[in-house]
Amino acid sequence: MAAPLTFDAYSVQWLRERALKPRTREGYEHLIRCYLRPLLGPMILGSITPRVVRTWWAKLPADKPTVRARSYALLKAVMNTALADELIDSNPCRIRGGANTPRAREIRPATLEELEVIVESMPDRLRALVLLCAWCALRSGEVLALRRKDVDVATGTVQVVRALSWVGGEPIVGTPKSAAGTRVVSIPPHILPAVAHHLDTMTTPAADALLFPGRDGVSHLQPSTMHRHWRMAREAAGRPDLRVHDLRHTGATMAARAGATLAELQERLGHSSVNAALRYQHAARGRDQEIAAALSAMARTPGH
C-alpha cells in the first residue's frame, strides 16, 4: 500500500498536472510556499479537517484580505482534486465566504483632458502605447506584445494574439488571458494618424518588429522603464491614483458611453462572459438625461 500523501507532496503533484499560464503558476507557487506550506505542508491529506482549516485561516495575515481569499480558494481547489482522487472523504474547506475577495477599489476613469496630458507627457516612443491602451481598451501586456504585422492601418484594426508577462524577471510571451482575448479590435479613426506615425518613425520595417521594444529596439520593454515614465505622466495630469491598467477601464467606459452593448463590450474587451462587461455599463447610466433629450428631439422631428 502506498504511503499516505502529505499536503506538500500532493500540492507539488497538483501544480505539475495543471496547464497554467506562467504568471498564474508563479502566483500559485508563491501562495503555497508562503501561506499554505508552513502549517499544512507536513500534514497527511486525510488529517486536514475543517477545524485544522479554520485554525490555518485564523493565522493568515488579517491585513492582507486578498491574499487570504486567494490562499483559501487555492487550498479548496487542491482539496477538491484530492476528493476526486478519492484520497479524502470530504473537502474540509467550509468557511463561508472564505474565497471572496474584497471589493475592488473604485476606479475613476481618466477624462479626455487628463488623457491628452498623459499622452503629451510620455516619451514619443510610448505615446501610441497609451493611446492603444485607452482607446482600444487593450491590456498593457497585450500592447507590449504587439508586432508591426498585428496592426493594419489600412483597415484600422489591431489583432490581439499575444500577451507579454514577466515571470521571475524574465519576459514570457504567450496567448491572451483567455480564448476570448484573441480578437481583432477596431482602432478609433482619430488616433490612426498617431499609430501610423509610430509605425513609420518608431518601429523597424520587419513584420515581427515589436511596436514598443526596449531601448535596443529588439528586447521587450522593461516594466520599470514603462512605469517610471507613466508615474511622471500621471502626475503631470494630476492623477497620481491612475494605474496603467486603468486605461483599459477608461476605454471600456468610453465605449459604453458611445452606446456599445454588453455583447459588443465583451467582444471588444476580450472577456469570456458578458458578466465581466457589466461593470462598465454603469457609465451609460449617466447618459439617461441625454437619452431622454434625444427621445424628445425625435418626437419633435417630422416623420416620428
Q: Provide the residue ranges of all domains of the chain, joining segments of one domain with +.
A: 7-84, 112-241
pLDDT tens digit at each of 304 positions of the chain: 456 899 999 999 999 999 888 889 999 999 999 999 999 999 999 999 999 999 999 999 988 999 999 999 999 999 999 999 999 999 999 999 998 877 666 788 899 999 999 999 999 999 999 999 999 999 999 999 999 999 999 999 999 999 999 888 889 999 888 788 899 999 999 999 999 999 999 999 999 999 999 988 899 999 899 999 999 999 999 999 999 999 999 999 888 888 888 888 888 988 887 777 777 765 555 555 665 666 777 777 665 5
For residues 67 and 31, the answer to whether their CB atoms sit within 8 Å is yes
Smallest Cα–Cα separation from 147: which of 98, 84, 198? 198
**CATH value of 112-241 in 1.10.443.10, 1.10.540.10, 2.60.260.20, 1.10.287.70:** 1.10.443.10
Active site residues: 139, 245, 248, 271, 280
- 8 Å CB contact between 78 and 84: no
Q: How far apart are CA 32 and CA 150, in angstroms?
A: 38
Residues 209, 145: contact at Cβ < 8 Å?
no
Q: How many residues does the chain have?
A: 304
Say what the pTM is: 0.74
Helix, strand, coil percentages, rounded to 5, for the chain: 55, 10, 35
